[in-house]
Amino acid sequence: MIDIRNLSFGYSRKKPLYKNLDLIFEPGNIYGLLGPNGAGKSTLLKTIIGLLFPTGGTISVNGYSPRKRLPSFLETIYFIPEEVYVPSLSVNRYIDLFSKFYSAFNRNQFFDYLQRLDVTTEKKLNALSFGQQKKFIIAFALACNTKILLLDEPTNGLDIPSKKRFRKLIASVLNEDRTILISTHQVRDLDNLIDHVIIIDNGELLLNASLSAISEKLCFKMIDDETFYSTILYEEESLKGKAVVMENIYREDSKINLEHLFNAVTEKSEEVKEIFNR
C-alpha cells in the first residue's frame, strides 16, 4: 500500500507543486493518474520511488520510507520512466545483470511477456526501435513481480497494436497483492484498463474516485442539440449528436468516457467536487 499524507513538494520555495496532498493506493487495483503535461504526475511518481524528496508530509510504501532507498524496499517496487534507456547488451546478458536485484524475478514469465508484446530478442537491446525497447522494459518489470509497479507515460512510442497488447497484458498480471499506478496524459490509452481514476492539475487533486463511484455520480450520454439540461458539465459535438457528461440525477447506467471525464473535471472542477461530496 502507498500512503501519502500532507505531501508538499516544490522545485522552488516560492512556487510549490503540491501542498497538503493526501492519497492512498491499495493493492489489487490499477490506478490511472491523469493530468496535462506539467501537472506534476512524474514528480509524484518520483517521490513515491524515492528519487525526489517531499518538502513536507510523509510517504509510506508497504511500511518503507522511500527516501531511505533500502534494498529491501527497492526490490518490491519498479518504476518505468517515460524515457527508457537500454544498454548495448543481449537479452540474456541483461537478465544476468539486473534480475538479481529482484528476488521474485521469473525468467519464463519474462520470455512469455516478450512474446505477448511481440518483442524481437535476437538483436542487442540498443539496436531495437524505441517502441521495442519500451516493451522490453515493460516485460522485464512485470517479470520482476514487484508488489508495486509505477509506469510513467508507458504508451508513448507504442503503435496502436502494441497499445492493445499492453492493455491486455497489464490487466492479466494484476492480483490482490499488486498495486499498479499508470501516469499519462493520453487518456484514451487507459480505456477498459483502470479501475480507479486520479486527476491532478496544477498540483491540485481534482478527482480521486473508483469507476463505480464515477458511474454512480456522473452520466455519459448522447443528446440532441435541442435538448436542454441544466446539469451538463462537459459537451462535445459529434456526428451522432452531442456527447455530454452530466450529473447522474436519475441513476442511469452509462459507459464512462475517460477523455470526456478528464475534460469535465478540469473545466468544471468545483462543480464536480460538489457532486462527489454529496
Domains for the chain: give ranges and CATH numbers.
2-202 (3.40.50.300), 210-277 (no CATH)
Distance from chain centroid for Cα 119 = 23
Confidence (pLDDT) at 228: 66
- Predicted TM-score of the model (pTM): 0.93
What stretches of 156-251 show up as alpha helix (H) in DSSP? Answer: 160-173, 211-217
Task: Using pLDDT thresholds of 50, 70 and 90, give the confidence band for residue 109.
Answer: very high
Are the beta carbons of 180 and 149 closer than 8 angstroms? yes
pLDDT tens digits, one per residue of 210-235: 999 999 999 999 887 656 677 899 99
Confidence (pLDDT) at 227: 65
Edge-to-edge, what's the strand order for the sheet holding 179-184? 77-80, 148-152, 179-184, 29-34, 196-201, 204-210
